[in-house]
Homo-oligomer: A and B are copies of this chain.
Amino acid sequence: MLFSDLKLNEDEPIYIQIKNYIDAMINKGLIPNNSKLPSTRELSQFLNVSRNSIISAYEELKSEGIIYSVSGKGTFVNHKNIISKNSWNINFDLLENEYSKIANKMDIVKSEIPWRSDLISFKSISPDGELFDIDEVKKSFLNRISLEGHKILNYGYAKGYKPLIDYLLSYMNIKGVDTSNKDILITNGFTEGLDIILSSFTEKGDYIICENPTHNTAIKIFKSLGLNIIGIDINKNGIDFNKFKEDLYKIKLDKSIKIKFAYITPSYHNPTGIVMSPEDRYKFYNIMKENNIAIIEDGFNEELLYTSSHIFPIASLDNLNNGVIYIGSFSKILFPGIRIGWILCDKDVIKKLESVKRCKSIHVSFLDQAILYDYLSNGAFDKYVKKIRKFYGDKFNFAYECVQRYIPNEYILGEGGLHIFIKLKDLDSRIVLERCYEKGVIFMPGDIFYIGENGRNTLRLGISRVSMENMEKGIKIIGEVVKDLMKYKK
């Protein structure tokens, strides 16, 4: 207890002893900043000394700026003047490692144009929150919390919530994946899934194959983990398989190059929007199989495939094998705020990844997993998917029309989904963006999706959160800017 170990002696004035005691306590940090000291009356009683001694001690401390009074409230500690005498400042810039530096440098959120409510923004491909059926989420929550609240609020298993895992296994089964030798790990969305796989199976300096362009977050994760990237160029027809085979053959002549994985997004590829045909999926799978390079398949937006019954994930080609690691997520259509994704792959691989997940963050929120499970299994999801396919389908078609009508281009890519990819005729999309921003319109410059310095003349329009009215208005403005800049070029 404060003051209880204060032994007053007879050699020094009482008020000095009290002052020094308080000073020392504050200096040691034993009295926190802004905490209230006893009143002079209380302290004089407690220490059994005259009230004047206390008043004098407090006055001394006040004059040094170590304590302060607020009239009617009392006397308080002020750390500022103490600590600054004796400050400690670690240079964390020097401690920071390469991983953090790259994660910071490539964090596009930090260099983004600040959001303003009056902007028409084509940047996002997040789902439109207004479409979420909140009542169904409520029902699912109340159902799970009543049935097993004490359980789902307590620690769970690293692998995930069993009913959700079982649901997703049969969900993947319907997509043509034989799950008899497979298992699932629940992750904090796609991003953690990719991070867990790569941080378990790659070393700095390893190589990874991916489409060029590709999902910018994936590029960031590859680079931050020190991986070398081999890009497969995508043009408006998708992958040129003959060229890809040749390139791969040449690369593999250098025996020091260790290609660990090929990362691919076959459905509504980000940013181009291309949906890989079943035949191309088959070709890609076989090239990887021949070369013994494991595939990481990003199930991104697969749920939006209008004709999903005819296009199966690459994972479905790998039945009874272990060559494909599939990462699924509903985040682009359903509740990204709760951050739930999954890795589906060989059982033995899941066992390894499960321990890595436990080492990184124990497990994903069991409350969220239980809510999602309830929502998926009670039929609400099917209704929701039907609704949003129609909603986003209409939106996409309208946006595509507008782009065709208003924006001069070399080509437009996209077959549905939440974004459209545009290649301009020899114009720098960063300059277009600058001009558009002045007119209140923003979008994603395409270069962020490219490995190296390419894609300066491309851009991605995210359409999911733009109203129909703003859609036409915004695309018209982009078109005008493009036309204007093209005139200037000639």
- Give A contacts to B, CB under 8 Å: 1-2, 28-30, 32-35, 79-80, 83-84, 87-90, 92, 95-97, 99-100, 103-104, 106-107, 109-110, 126-127, 129-130, 132, 134, 137-138, 141-142, 145, 149-156, 158, 173, 175-178, 187-189, 191-192, 195, 199-203, 217, 220-221, 224, 260, 278-279, 281-282, 285, 289, 292, 294, 310, 312, 316-323, 331, 335-339, 346, 348-349, 351-353, 355-356, 358-368, 371
Q: In the complex, A278 Cα to B366 Cα: how many Å?
A: 37
Of all chain B residues, the one with the shortest Cβ separation from A28 is B282
B95 contacts A294, C-beta separation under 8 Å: yes
Choice from B152, B319, B355 contacting A337 with Cβ under 8 Å: B152
Choice from B188, B195, B260, B353 contacting A188 with Cβ under 8 Å: B188
5 inter-chain pairs at a CB distance below 8 angstroms, sorted by A residue, are A126-B155, A138-B145, A220-B359, A337-B366, A367-B368
Of all chain B residues, the one with the shortest Cβ separation from A152 is B337
B137 contacts A150, C-beta separation under 8 Å: no
Q: A127-B154, A192-B361 are in contact. Are A99 and B200 (CB under 8 A)?
A: yes
B318 contacts A88, C-beta separation under 8 Å: yes
Complex interface: chain B residues within 8 A of A362 (CB): 188-189, 191-192, 339
Choice from B282, B292, B323, B356 contacting A29 with Cβ under 8 Å: B282
Q: In the complex, A94 Cα to B263 Cα: how many Å?
A: 19
Closest 7 CB pairs of A and B: A32-B176, A29-B317, A129-B150, A100-B200, A103-B359, A192-B361, A107-B355
Complex interface: chain B residues within 8 A of A220 (CB): 359
Of all chain B residues, the one with the shortest Cβ separation from A345 is B92
Q: In the complex, A100 Cα to B278 Cα: how many Å?
A: 34
B365 contacts A339, C-beta separation under 8 Å: yes
In the complex, how many angstroms separate the beta carbon of A123 from the nearest chain B beta carbon?
12
Given contacts A28-B278, A88-B323, A189-B362, 7 further A-B pairs with CB under 8 A are A29-B282, A129-B153, A153-B337, A188-B364, A189-B361, A338-B366, A339-B364
Of all chain B residues, the one with the shortest Cβ separation from A283 is B28
Complex interface: chain B residues within 8 A of A150 (CB): 129-130, 132, 134
Q: In the complex, A382 Cα to B340 Cα: how many Å?
A: 31
In the complex, how many angstroms separate the beta carbon of A317 from the nearest chain B beta carbon?
4
Of all chain B residues, the one with the shortest Cβ separation from A313 is B32
B355 contacts A367, C-beta separation under 8 Å: no
Complex interface: chain B residues within 8 A of A189 (CB): 361-362
A203 contacts B97, C-beta separation under 8 Å: yes
A153 contacts B338, C-beta separation under 8 Å: yes
Choice from B1, B319, B364, B366 contacting A79 with Cβ under 8 Å: B319
Of all chain B residues, the one with the shortest Cβ separation from A178 is B33
A192 contacts B360, C-beta separation under 8 Å: yes
In the complex, how many angstroms separate the beta carbon of A331 from the nearest chain B beta carbon?
8
Q: A127-B154, A149-B137 are in contact. Are A176 and B33 (CB under 8 A)?
A: yes
Complex interface: chain B residues within 8 A of A33 (CB): 176, 178, 316, 319
Choice from B107, B126, B152, B156 contacting A358 with Cβ under 8 Å: B107
Q: In the complex, A107 Cα to B200 Cα: how many Å?
A: 14
In the complex, how many angstroms separate the beta carbon of A355 from the nearest chain B beta carbon?
4
Choice from B110, B134, B154, B360 contacting A195 with Cβ under 8 Å: B360
Choice from B289, B346, B361, B371 contacting A361 with Cβ under 8 Å: B361
In the complex, how many angstroms separate the beta carbon of A420 from the nearest chain B beta carbon?
20
Choice from B29, B285, B322 contacting A316 with Cβ under 8 Å: B29
Complex interface: chain B residues within 8 A of A29 (CB): 176, 281-282, 285, 312, 316-317, 319
A97 contacts B202, C-beta separation under 8 Å: yes
In the complex, how many angstroms separate the beta carbon of A197 from the nearest chain B beta carbon?
10
A156 contacts B83, C-beta separation under 8 Å: no
Q: A149-B137, A191-B360 are in contact. Are A337 and B107 (CB under 8 A)?
A: no
Choice from B83, B96, B107, B321 contacting A89 with Cβ under 8 Å: B321
Q: In the complex, A84 Cα to B129 Cα: how many Å?
A: 45
A153 contacts B130, C-beta separation under 8 Å: no
Q: Which of A132, A279, A339 has most chain B Cβ within 10 Å?
A: A339
Of all chain B residues, the one with the shortest Cβ separation from A321 is B88
Complex interface: chain B residues within 8 A of A30 (CB): 278-279, 282, 312
Q: Which of A33, A151, A224, A294 has most chain B Cβ within 10 Å?
A: A33
Complex interface: chain B residues within 8 A of A316 (CB): 29, 32-33
